Amino acid sequence: MDGTLSIRPFAEADRGPVKALWLGCGLVVPYNDPDADIDLAAGRENSDILLGILPDGRVAATAMVGHDGHRGWLYYVAVDPAYRDTGFGRIMVRAGEDWLRARSIRKAQLLIRETNTAVRAFYERIGWSESPRTVMERWL
Ligand SMILES: CC(C)(COP(=O)(O)OP(=O)(O)OC[C@H]1O[C@@H](n2cnc3c(N)ncnc32)[C@H](O)[C@@H]1OP(=O)(O)O)[C@@H](O)C(=O)NCCC(=O)NCCS
């Protein structure tokens, strides 16, 4: 299926399908409002939401990408369950990496929730490794 997915940035008409995809992939949690996340990230100079589009125009996959001037980050890497294991996840991560590379960002990072143990093997399979860092946080 690899050749059947095209990449384009989020447009407003995609909001409903994108939120439905995130919900269906278990990526929507009470402490993150997907609408607010879309509003803050889509189409910005330092961030965007990349969509994987099927030939019929439907959204099958997403990757939110952004950088802070130093590191790049991926969020909301998601593939419609109906299209898993066909290479779409890899395509979306590569698209995010390319987006960052094009902006001279040298390292990409992402966070895996502690409850999402299955996904770790996916990232390792496509060339990522665990970062030997401790991530600190504070809600603002
Ligand atoms: C994680 C996810 C994006 C993977 O998408 P996908 O389209 O199924 O992945 P791909 O088909 O591109 O897989 C690439 C490779 O990783 C392997 N792989 C995929 N998921 C895997 C898993 N859970 N465990 C081990 N290997 C996995 C594939 O078999 C493939 O291997 P290959 O190179 O031998 O062919 C998808 O399962 C998903 O949307 N999960 C729910 C949302 C999520 O957890 N996102 C990540 C948040 S951090």
**Residue boundaries of the structural domains of the chain:** 2-111
**Confidence class for position 4, pLDDT limits 50, 70, 90:** confident
Q: Is the predicted pLDDT of residue 95 greater than 80, yes or no?
A: yes
With a 6 Å cutoff on the Cβ, whether 112 touches ligand 1 is yes
Question: What is the whole-number distance in angstroms between the Cα of residue 96 and the centre of ligand 1?
Answer: 15
* Ligand 1 atom closest to 125 (CA): 16
Question: What pLDDT sits at residue 3?
Answer: 56
Q: According to the 3-state scheme, what is the secondary structure of the chain?
A: CHHHCEEEECCHHHHHHHHHHHHHCCCCCCCCCHHHHHHHHCCCCCEEEEEEECCCCCEEEEEEEEECCCCEEEEEEEECHHHCCCCHHHHHHHHHHHHHHCCCCCCEEECCCCCCCCHHHHHHHCCCCCCCCCCCCCCC
pLDDT in tens, 18-69: 999 999 999 999 999 999 999 999 999 999 999 999 999 999 999 999 999 9
Closest C-alpha to ligand 1, atom 4: 89
Does domain 2-111 fall under CATH 1.20.1290.10? My reply is no
The percentage of the chain sitting over the pLDDT mark of 90, rounded to a whole number, equals 95
Question: What is the whole-number distance in angstroms between the Cα of residue 21 and the centre of ligand 1?
Answer: 15
With a 6 Å cutoff on the Cβ, whether 53 touches ligand 1 is no
Residue of higher predicted confidence among 1 and 119: 119
Whole-model pTM: value is 0.97
